[in-house]
Amino acid sequence: MTSTTPTLGWLGTGRMGAAMVGRLLDAGHAVRVWNRTRAKAEPFAGRGATVVDSITELAGCDIVFVMVSTSDDLRQVLLGEGGLLATGDGRRPGVVVDCSTVSAEMSAEVRAAATDLGTEFLAAPVSGNPHVVAEGAACLVASGEQAAYDRVRPYLATIGRTVVYAGAEEQSRLVKLCHNLYLGMMVESLVEVVTLAEKGGVDRAAFLEFLNGTVLASDWVRKRTPDLVKRDWRPTFTTELLRKDFDLGLGAARASEVPMPVASLVHQLIQVAIGRGHREEDFLAMYEVQAAAAALGGADDGGRGTR
């Protein structure tokens, strides 16, 4: 399409998708929005969005953003029956921007199908939980054709603070998986030292206050400290989603013959957390598993004991 102002579509308004499309709406962009459960998209109508009933109603947009949970979800919403690229009337967006965390293999499959249909495909996964996104502090890494990236970059820069171009193919997928592997390893390290200090008689809040004043501090740990102190596991990013990303990340490492001994151990500890009932809770609930293993009183009650 040749309109001066590209028309925008958004597919998927879960926790992350909702925060991201909210950034575009707050910046004054008109966006057509679809979600599998329409009720989750309805609040955006009051913020200027047009809520549509079917994915195919986004096919006429110049640029469509996608935010779904899994690789299979991505294939379904783009290539499955009733999918964005499966319309029978020839209408298809100029660019599809997928912000999900999916495998490089699925990304390449969808990219090839989109290219065959004349649609550019940009992989642009995002780092940041919904609160970080809402504050404008998210980071996005993109890969695909340079021209598609240049066209979409202003909107990515509206969604997040940092936007990085990583290459012409699936490089951004690997960057995001490396990020989430590190995130999981970091959190496991954090809950281990917190548990050790606490078992030795140090108040959890006092230890974290000390840690947050040292060179080892990070903005992320500072922001999540109140949740860890209160054992508040309301999800920003669930343990199940972290396991999915570890499955993908360790698969990528295996394909490249890169040993990942620490990540492999953390993968199993994530599985323990899921097995102990923390599947749908925030992945910081890994603290409960560590504390229970250390026989710390009151631990591993599903995060419901001290809130």
Confidence of residue 297 (pLDDT cuts 50, 70, 90): confident
- pTM, rounded to two decimals: 0.89
User: Which of 176, 151, 167 has the alpha carbon at shortest distance from 71?
Assistant: 176
Per-residue pLDDT, 300: 58
CB 78 within 8 A of CB 116: no
Q: What is the pLDDT of residues 231-244, one digit of tens each?
A: 999 999 999 999 99
Residue 4's pLDDT is 73
Are 55 and 77 within 8 A, CB to CB?
yes
* Alpha-carbon span 168 to 267, nearest angstrom: 30
Report H helices in the chain.
15-26, 38-41, 71-79, 104-116, 130-134, 146-159, 171-199, 204-211, 219-230, 239-255, 261-273, 286-293
pLDDT in tens, 104-157: 999 999 999 999 999 999 999 999 999 999 999 999 999 999 999 999 999 999
Reported as a pLDDT band with limits 50, 70 and 90, residue 2 is very low
- pLDDT, residue 304, reads 36
pLDDT tens for residues 7-24?
999 999 999 999 999 999
* CA atoms within 13 A of residue 246's CA, in its CB half-sphere: 23
The closest alpha carbon to 16, from 39, 40, 50, 52, belongs to 40
Share of the chain above pLDDT 70, in %: 96
